[in-house]
Amino acid sequence: MLFRTHGGQLRMSDALTLGISRYRLYQLRDEGIIEVVSRGIYRLTELPTISNPDLGTIALRYPNAVICLVSALAWHEMTTQIPHAVTVAVPPNTRLPVLDYPPIKAYRFATPAFNAGVEKINIDSITIRIYNAEKTLVDCFKFRNKIGMDVVIEALQLYRRRKHLNLPALLRYASICRVEKVMRPYLEAIL
């Protein structure tokens, strides 16, 4: 079965490209062989449950989006906030992703900022694109008026306590995102 050769999950568009008809997908769903993860995303029911279904669904539905801001802070254990929506970055001139579930909040990043600091992690055989800890912290400074300065300060403190301070990377990403002058006083205070 094509689902097994593709990690047990497929988007409808990919299934159609591979030669599975809509009728056959619905038939497999009705027989209990596959289940709907989100609109247009199907996976084998025999697979174990997804450990992080929100990030997995976003990655399957929007493979070019990158997990950012509070969602990335939560992944890197740099916040006590519980994200109410999955925050993602998309390139400029891209249609913003829309989902009923999980809730999603999208931001357009300039091309250099969008491409910098992207890591690929694998959760339950799903490749998820997420910004590394340093890039996430810099993005939080850039969007401090949207997420709140208290979240940014907490993230900086937790980063300092839990991660190895990588000052060159922080400054490089701050330069790319044009927040170097904003960040410098905070970085000098923690050193």
pTM: 0.78
pLDDT tens by residue, 55-70:
888 888 888 999 999 9
User: Is the pLDDT at 191 greater than 70, yes or no?
Assistant: no
104-108 and 126-131 beta bridge pairing? unpaired
Class of domain 53-190 (CATH, top level): alpha beta
pLDDT at 177: 94
* Position 116 confidence tier, pLDDT thresholds 50, 70, 90: very high
How far apart are the C-alpha atoms of 159 and 133, rounded to whole Å?
8
Name residue 82's amino acid. Answer: I
How far apart are the C-alpha atoms of 28 and 135, rounded to whole Å?
42
* Position 171 confidence tier, pLDDT thresholds 50, 70, 90: very high
Looking at residue 9, the DSSP 8-state letter turns out to be E
pLDDT at 24: 86
Question: What are the backbone dihedrals phi and psi of residue 186, each rounded to the nearest 5 degrees, phi first?
Answer: -70, -40
Mean pLDDT of 62-89: 92
* Range list of H helices, 102-179: 111-115, 133-142, 144-147, 149-162, 167-176
For tokens 């300065």, the residue is 149
pLDDT tens by residue, 9-48:
788 888 888 888 888 888 888 888 888 877 777 878 887 7
Compute the mean pLDDT over every residue in the chain, rounded to the nearest whole number. 87
For the chain, how are helix, strand and coil distributed in percent, rounded to 5? 45, 20, 35
pLDDT at 52: 76
Which of 34 and 108 is assigned the larger pLDDT? 108
For the chain, what are the domain ranges? 2-44, 53-190
Residues 6+ apart with CB under 8 A from 101: 38, 57
